[in-house]
């Protein structure tokens, strides 16, 4: 099979992903072999390629927003049939035995494995996954529009939950990439007022088209204090900007797997007044089920820019430069 293989981490400008011919994997007991049609391009892929998050298997095939069709069933598979369309998100496997797994917190499992990080992902023609960790894609979406829902959507939805956003509240979004352009649609569906902070004119324009009440840079302040805020950009300094605009008793959710240095915080200015900071760590299968169901109800529209498999390096370069409006998606032939 054809795949984009990362042999060693380096800046994406150096084109670290190499188009390779690799053996097609075979499904083991309880697994399915999936013929990949689409794979979203995520900041986590970028951080993995550049070595900003460590611990990835090397060499590795990145990609964890995978949409494809069941090609072959391993022994004992009952949930899917050959030809079924499935999605494969970031959470690839958990132990299923620990306290976290048994108390609806499987995203915190110490033995969790993640797609395109611990195991080969979707920048390839084929991928194997346990039938228990694959999900069904709503018929409303084609393969390419569905891909961003599997991480940008799921993580965005979990970030909303962690922020404790309530209907009609005021929500601030710092960074307006793939996740934020989905989150704003959920928040608007709940009657919330959304304030978007972004350095990109294109991203701010998209936010306005999707119904943002206000857009500006992180150095600016909206006309009201925020009830909740979500940080998507991997810039630690934005934490202070978010807290500065957050009301007393408000919550900031940090939805980033990687974050650069956080500047020194002034307790009274930034945190005092029972403001809360919470991190978003991966997601659960329940998050995926709820988001995919909600996506059909709203319905959520994903704005995508497609690339061929061999152009994965270019897609990551554009993502790094903030030049993808919405979500990047690889088309796998």
246-263 per-position pLDDT tens digit: 999 999 999 999 999 999
Report how far Cα 201 is from the mean position of its chain's Cα atoms: 22
Q: What domains can be seen in the chain, in order of their start residue?
A: 2-150+282-331 (3.90.180.10), 153-279 (3.40.50.720)
Cα 90 from Cα 108, distance rounded (Å): 13
Say what the pLDDT of residue 324 is: 96
Share of the chain above pLDDT 90, in %: 98
pLDDT at 328: 98
Q: Flag whether pLDDT at 103 surpasses 80.
A: yes
* 280 contacts: CB under 8 Å, gap ≥ 6: 155, 158, 159, 162, 253, 254, 255, 256
Question: Which residues of 16-125 form beta strands (DSSP E)?
Answer: 17-21, 31-41, 66-73, 85-88, 91-93, 113-114
Q: How far is CA 260 from CA 47, 172, 263, 305, in A?
A: 11, 20, 10, 27
Burial 210-238 (b: 16+ CB within 10 A, else e): bebbbbeebeeebeeebbbbbbbbbbeeb
- In this predicted structure, the answer to whether residue 333 has a pLDDT above a threshold of 80 is no
Q: What is the pLDDT of residue 187?
A: 98
> What's the whole-number mean pLDDT along residues 279-287?
97
- Work out the average pLDDT over 14-26: 98
Average pLDDT of the chain, as a whole number: 97
Residue 319 CA from chain centroid, whole number: 13
- pLDDT at residue 142, rounded to an integer: 97
Q: What is the pTM of this model?
A: 0.95
Position 155 scores a pLDDT of 98
The predicted pLDDT at position 251 comes to 98
Average pLDDT over residues 132-155: 97
Q: In this structure, what token pair is assigned to residue 317?
A: 């370069």
**Bridge partners for 170 per DSSP:** 193
State yes or no: pLDDT of 299 exceeds 90.
yes
């Amino acid at each position: 099979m054809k795949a984009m293989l990362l042999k060693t981490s380096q800046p994406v400008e150096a084109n670290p992903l190499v188009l390779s011919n690799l053996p097609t994997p075979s499904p083991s007991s309880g697994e399915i072999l999936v013929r990949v049609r689409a794979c979203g391009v995520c900041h986590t892929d970028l951080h993995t390629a550049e070595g900003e998050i460590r611990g990835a298997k090397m060499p590795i095939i990145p990609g964890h927003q995978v949409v494809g069709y069941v090609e072959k069933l391993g022994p004992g598979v009952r949930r899917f049939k050959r030809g079924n369309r499935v999605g494969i998100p970031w959470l690839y496997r958990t132990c299923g035995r620990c306290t976290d797994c048994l108390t609806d917190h499987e995203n915190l499992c110490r033995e969790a494995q993640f797609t395109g990080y611990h195991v080969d992902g979707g920048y390839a023609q084929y991928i194997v996954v346990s039938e228990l960790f694959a999900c069904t894609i709503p018929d409303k979406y084609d393969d390419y529009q569905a891909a961003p829902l599997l991480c940008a959507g799921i993580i965005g939805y979990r970030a909303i939950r962690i922020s404790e956003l309530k209907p009609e509240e005021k929500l601030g979004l710092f960074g307006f990439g793939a996740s934020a352009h989905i989150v704003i649609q959920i928040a608007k569906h709940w009657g919330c007022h959304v304030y978007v902070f972004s350095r990109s004119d294109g991203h701010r324009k998209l936010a306005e088209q999707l119904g943002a009440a206000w857009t500006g840079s992180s150095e600016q302040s909206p006309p009201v204090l925020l009830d909740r805020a979500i940080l998507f950009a991997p810039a630690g300094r934005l934490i202070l900007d978010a807290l500065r605009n957050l009301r007393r008793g408000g919550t900031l959710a940090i939805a980033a797997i990687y974050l650069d240095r956080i500047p020194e915080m002034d307790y009274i200015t930034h945190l005092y007044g029972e403001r809360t900071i919470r991190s978003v760590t991966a997601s659960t299968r329940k998050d995926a089920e709820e988001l995919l169901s909600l996506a059909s109800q709203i319905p959520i529209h994903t704005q995508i820019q497609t690339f061929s498999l061999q152009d994965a390096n270019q897609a990551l370069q554009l993502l790094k430069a903030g030049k993808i409006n919405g979500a990047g998606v690889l088309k796998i032939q």
